[in-house]
Amino acid sequence: MKTKYNKTFGPSDTDFDMNACVGYDPNSWGTNASGFQLSANKLVDFARTSESDIDILIYPIAFLFRHTIELLLKKATQTTGTSRVIEKGHNLLDRWDAIAPQAEERFKGNPSYIDFKGLREVIKDFENVDSGSFDFRYPFTTSGNRTLDGVTNVNINVLAQRANNAIEQLTLIIDAYP
């Protein structure tokens, strides 16, 4: 593999302990998802202590949680052997609906282990507010309309609790497959 370092993306000889290892993990869906989730939770913790920043931190927090869920849904599609593959787009609900039958079958003996209805509800909530994964990244659509139309307040504690619960359940589904 040819190395593609440049001045911005490359190692440093002076502070070696800050050189992050990337591109090595065969389980990169899960590794990437963990990084996005960890970042979201760190921002939530920071926002709790600096209330004046909540209004600007909500954007990366919501995006990071949404992206974590999307990555886990993509990993679950591979892990569960789902035959219905959704190759393009960022529709979370389509991805969930593609894997849900296999996941529900897998947990048939333990129906209370995964709250399938609650998990779908959280995924649907993300999809209803940010269907294309653009609304928390951009203030306007490509056609000039405001994003997040009709959404005026988001409680970061509720968002974090519901997103982390969904992420935990998606991880349990993924881990149930060899």
Query: Which pLDDT does position 83 carry in this prediction?
Result: 64
H or E element at residue 28: helix 28-49
Query: Which pLDDT does position 30 carry in this prediction?
Result: 86
Q: How far apart are CA 7 and CA 145, in angstroms?
A: 37
* pLDDT tens, N- to C-terminus, the chain (178 residues): 677 788 888 888 899 899 988 877 767 788 899 999 999 999 999 999 987 899 999 999 999 999 999 999 999 998 888 766 666 778 999 999 999 999 999 998 876 689 999 999 999 999 999 998 999 999 999 999 999 999 999 999 999 999 999 999 999 999 998 7
pTM of the model: 0.92
Burial degree of 36 (CB within 10 A; 0-12, 13-18, 19+): buried
Q: What is the dihedral of CA 49, 126, 66, 154, to 10 degrees?
A: -10
Structural domains in the chain, sorted by start = 27-175 (1.20.120)
Q: How far apart are CA 47 and CA 34, in angstroms?
A: 20
